């Protein structure tokens, strides 16, 4: 069973579905700002890639493919102390597995060390950079705060000649680490602290995995990244939101140096998953601390770990498609990811039977030595595939130990003394006797009778046991090792630790259960490494590609199936009695529980609430999960209805009520809020009519949650309205054009890529409030 790599162009994060970055690129091409799209994926080779990087990979490679362009693979290898060839090779392997194809466009920042050094010298010659001899602590102390300006370094006014000499001596290796840094000379009072004379080169006494000991000074990220983009002719440099404040510095380097091209940076929301850490530093700590068994441990969120667990590139692509490309960060429920994995494996994993914790069952009335071969399908009825295997039935079987209780509670539909169940694909059995170990009292064997007339699965008298159990023939079953993987962390936000505590304290001590002595049906005797199967009623499993050997497979649980009994009993999850022919499939669940399908969840509601949820889906177009949340919470539903009455955008209202407002409620009740849904509707109207951005809207929401008030009035009082007055913007545009005659000449000479530079300058001058579409129109008209 093999897995095909996805085409990145199929992914929403890089495919045909619209998102704001796709729209920007389409507009740039339509306006003639670019004739070809060039993106890049620029990982640092200081660790393995994780699922957050997968979103960026699919986005960058997908956008380039969709617009007929190219995506470069560039390693940002400017920190030799943390980098290794192992990481370079692992990253390339992971990107290829996800479908990324860079062709001959493989680059390294270290390829440009000489050119980057020359750019630094150019800044010094222009009086735009200086060698600073402050210590790290002194630099930090003089940097100021977000409310107080920084102070100039006493070395800021060194002459150009002195700076050139010192920088050359830094390169020659005359100074120890920390003695000097090269800093850009910008503005120590800049509101954006990234612009307060940032360091651009530092001394680093470490051997580089590619250049050896040729260098002892290395560029810092912002300097190397922007200029590498410019060297390679990148048109759209796509980063995650944590680099939003870096964009001004990115543009500053491009503006003040004679670069071969002028790329522009755009930011999108990074992928954040609950029950997960995404920091490479913390992932490295897990590996080096022995808390996991390497970067490819199936509990890790690394692409290598997910691949070894049995997650396919198609499932990751589907997940990225579902979460989309947004402008604001949010936390994604890991259960949504697990649901995408189930949906993918449901169509690729044949069904087989396995018993993980065997309990011996003797069918007393079944003839000794007799073996029946039962034809069992590999696929349920709702999967459009065919195929079957022979399953032997004999006198002695193994069933799951969890499927028997000697003293069962109500609604226990599995096996118990005197109770009847059906064997999957076979007849009914009834437990007649329980055999225990005389020393420990543990149940070691069940003596049962087999109802021969029911071997077709139906009783002549119409009896229908409520429980169906999976099983294997003891004489024919194959012993295997099974590894049950669970979430690595036990809490939803493992990073959110109290002062003095460590995120490692949130590790889930039950994240791995390695079971030996498990039994699988004989059809798996020749199963190959890297094969997917579903153990009926257990979950989706993957034959470990590392530890498996011929005839001795090791099965990794990729993802569990939903379980109904554990919710009724309030117990630790155990295999549920599956209905005949049911496919193991579940939609995205809510935190901390694997949930049933939308219809099954509706069935659990009282009729009025179920009807309410259906109406929200059918009449209002609300997604099923959101509809269920609103139907079950009268307070949230009230706010939603009041918001929609003011501004008719149901999907937006549901999204804000559930995902923005409810997160801020904490211990408060909706009835205690100092505002009504009408104010929320007013806020949504301000977003939709372009008065404010979504980011500003969140600030306004935070204010009305504290003290109420009219969102429109708050926007006006705080001056948050987007500037869309052509006259007002025209004055700013004219000022920017007048202040940059060189760029104007180059634009009119044919370098139309500079339009992005001018838009950025206008937005900066307007405090980010200028309407970018109108700015673009004005600049295009005036510069032409």
Angle, CA 757 vertex, CA 754 and CA 759 arms, to 5°? 110
SS3 content of the chain, % helix, strand, coil (to 5): 40, 20, 40
C-alpha separations of 771 from 29, 506, 690, 724, 759 in Å: 20, 45, 8, 5, 10
SS3 category, 423: strand
Contacts of 391 (CB under 8 A, 6+ apart): 353, 373, 374, 375, 376, 425, 473, 521, 523
C-alpha separations of 443 from 47, 139, 424, 431, 479 in Å: 48, 70, 23, 13, 21
Catalytic residue selected from 74, 158, 196, 270: 270
Q: Scanning the structure block, which residue is given the tokens 């009520």?
A: 657
Q: How far apart are CA 576 and CA 467, in angstroms?
A: 9
SS3 category, 273: strand
| Three-state helix/strand/coil letters over 601-621 | HHHHCCHHHHHHHHHHHHHHC
Catalytic residue selected from 33, 280, 342, 487: 280
Contacts of 87 (CB under 8 A, 6+ apart): 45, 46, 47, 48
Residue in 23, 62, 57, 31 with CA at minimum distance from that of residue 43: 57
In DSSP terms, 559 is beta-bridged to 540
Decide: 676 and 639 in contact? Cβ < 8 Å: yes
Contacts of 149 (CB under 8 A, 6+ apart): 188, 189
Q: Scanning the structure block, which residue is given the tokens 């007013």?
A: 682
Residue in 547, 575, 548, 546 with CA at minimum distance from that of residue 560: 575
Q: Scanning the structure block, which residue is given the tokens 């944590």?
A: 242
Catalytic residue selected from 44, 458, 641, 703: 44
CA atoms within 13 A on the CB side of 490: 9
The continuous run of DSSP H or E covering 199 comes out as: strand 199-203
For the beta carbon of residue 485, count every other beta carbon within 10 angstroms: 21
Question: Can 521 be counted among the known catalytic residues?
Answer: no
Residue in 471, 489, 477, 492 with CA at minimum distance from that of residue 575: 471
Question: Can 536 be counted among the known catalytic residues?
Answer: no
Decide: 775 and 757 in contact? Cβ < 8 Å: no
Residue in 713, 646, 707, 640 with CA at minimum distance from that of residue 681: 646
Q: What are phi and psi of 415, to 5 degrees?
A: -85, 140
Q: How far apart are CA 450 and CA 433, in angstroms?
A: 13
Question: Can 590 be counted among the known catalytic residues?
Answer: no
Residue in 402, 472, 467 with CA at minimum distance from that of residue 430: 467
Q: How far apart are CA 634 and CA 649, in angstroms?
A: 19
Contacts of 270 (CB under 8 A, 6+ apart): 52, 55, 240, 241, 242, 278, 329
Which residues are marked as active site? 44, 270, 280
């Amino acid at each position: 069973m093999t897995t095909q790599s996805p085409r990145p162009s199929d992914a929403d994060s890089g495919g045909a579905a619209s998102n704001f970055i796709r729209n920007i690129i389409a507009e740039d091409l339509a306006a003639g700002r670019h004739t070809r799209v060039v993106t890049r994926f620029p990982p640092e080779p200081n660790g393995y890639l994780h699922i957050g990087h997968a979103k960026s990979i699919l986005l960058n490679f997908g956008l380039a493919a969709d617009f007929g362009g190219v995506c470069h693979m560039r390693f940002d290898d400017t920190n030799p102390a943390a980098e290794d060839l192992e990481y370079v090779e692992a990253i390339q392997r992971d990107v290829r597995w996800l479908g990324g194809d860079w062709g001959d466009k493989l680059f390294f920042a270290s390829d440009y060390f000489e050119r980057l050094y020359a750019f630094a010298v150019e800044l010094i010659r222009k009086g735009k950079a200086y060698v600073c001899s402050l210590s790290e602590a002194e630099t930090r102390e003089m940097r100021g705060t977000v409310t107080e300006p920084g102070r100039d370094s006493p070395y800021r006014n060194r002459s150009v000649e002195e700076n050139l000499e010192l920088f050359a001596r830094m390169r020659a290796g005359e100074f120890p680490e920390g003695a000097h840094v090269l800093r850009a000379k910008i503005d120590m009072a800049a509101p954006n602290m990234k612009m307060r004379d940032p360091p651009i080169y530092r001394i680093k006494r470490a051997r580089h995995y590619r250049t050896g000991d040729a260098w002892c000074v290395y560029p810092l990220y912002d300097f190397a990244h922007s200029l590498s983009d410019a060297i390679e002719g990148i048109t759209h440099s796509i980063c995650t939101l944590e680099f939003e404040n870096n964009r001004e510095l990115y543009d500053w380097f491009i503006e003040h140096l004679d670069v071969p091209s002028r790329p522009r940076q755009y930011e999108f929301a990074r992928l954040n998953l609950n029950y997960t850490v995404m920091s490479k530093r913390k992932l490295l700590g897990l590996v080096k601390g022995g808390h996991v068994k390497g970067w490819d441990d199936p509990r890790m969120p690394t692409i290598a770990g997910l691949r070894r667990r049995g997650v396919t590139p198609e499932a990751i692509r589907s997940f990225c498609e579902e979460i989309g490309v947004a402008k604001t960060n949010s936390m994604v429920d890991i259960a949504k990811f697990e649901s995408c994995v189930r949906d993918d494996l449901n169509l690729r994993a044949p069904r087989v039977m396995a018993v993980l914790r065997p309990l011996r069952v003797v069918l007393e009335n079944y003839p000794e030595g007799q073996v029946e071969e039962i034809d069992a399908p590999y696929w349920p009825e709702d999967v459009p595939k065919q195929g079957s295997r022979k399953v032997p039935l004999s006198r002695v079987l193994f069933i799951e130990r969890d499927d028997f209780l000697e003293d069962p509670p109500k609604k226990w539909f599995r096996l118990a003394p005197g109770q009847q169940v059906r064997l999957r694909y076979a007849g009914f059995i009834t437990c007649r006797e329980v055999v225990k170990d005389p020393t420990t009292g543990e149940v070691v064997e069940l003596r049962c009778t087999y109802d021969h007339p029911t071997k077709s699965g139906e009783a002549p008298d119409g009896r229908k046991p409520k429980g169906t159990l999976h099983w294997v023939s003891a004489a024919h079953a194959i012993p295997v090792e099974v590894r049950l993987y669970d979430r690595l962390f036990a809490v939803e936000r493992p990073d959110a630790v109290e002062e003095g505590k460590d995120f490692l304290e949130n590790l889930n001590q039950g994240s791995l259960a390695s079971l030996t002595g498990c039994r699988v049906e004989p059809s798996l005797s020749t199963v190959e490494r890297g094969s997917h199967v579903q153990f009926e009623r257990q979950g989706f499993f993957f034959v470990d590609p590392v530890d498996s050997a011929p005839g001795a497979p090791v099965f990794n649980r990729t993802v569990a199936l939903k379980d109904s009994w554990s919710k009724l009993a309030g117990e630790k999850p155990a295999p549920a009695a599956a209905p005949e022919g049911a496919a193991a499939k579940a939609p995205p669940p809510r935190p901390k529980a694997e949930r049933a399908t939308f219809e099954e969840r509706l069935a659990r509601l009282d009729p009025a609430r179920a009807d309410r949820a259906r109406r929200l889906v059918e009449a209002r177009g609300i997604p099923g999960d959101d509809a269920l949340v609103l139907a079950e919470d009268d307070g949230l539903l009230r706010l939603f209805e009041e918001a929609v009455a003011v501004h008719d955008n149901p999907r937006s209202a549901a999204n804000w009520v559930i995902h923005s407002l409810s997160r801020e409620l904490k211990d408060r009740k909706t009835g205690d809020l100092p505002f009504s849904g009408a104010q929320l509707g007013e806020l949504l109207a301000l977003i939709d009519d372009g008065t404010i951005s979504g980011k500003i809207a969140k600030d306004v929401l935070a204010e009305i949650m504290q003290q109420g008030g009219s969102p429109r009035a708050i926007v006006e009082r705080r001056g948050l309205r987007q500037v869309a007055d052509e006259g007002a913007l025209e004055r700013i545009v004219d000022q920017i054009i007048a202040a940059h005659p060189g760029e104007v000449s180059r634009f009119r000479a044919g370098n139309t890529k500079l339009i992005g530079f001018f838009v950025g300058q206008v937005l900066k001058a307007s405090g980010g409030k200028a309407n970018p579409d109108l700015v673009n129109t004005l600049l295009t008209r005036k510069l032409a």
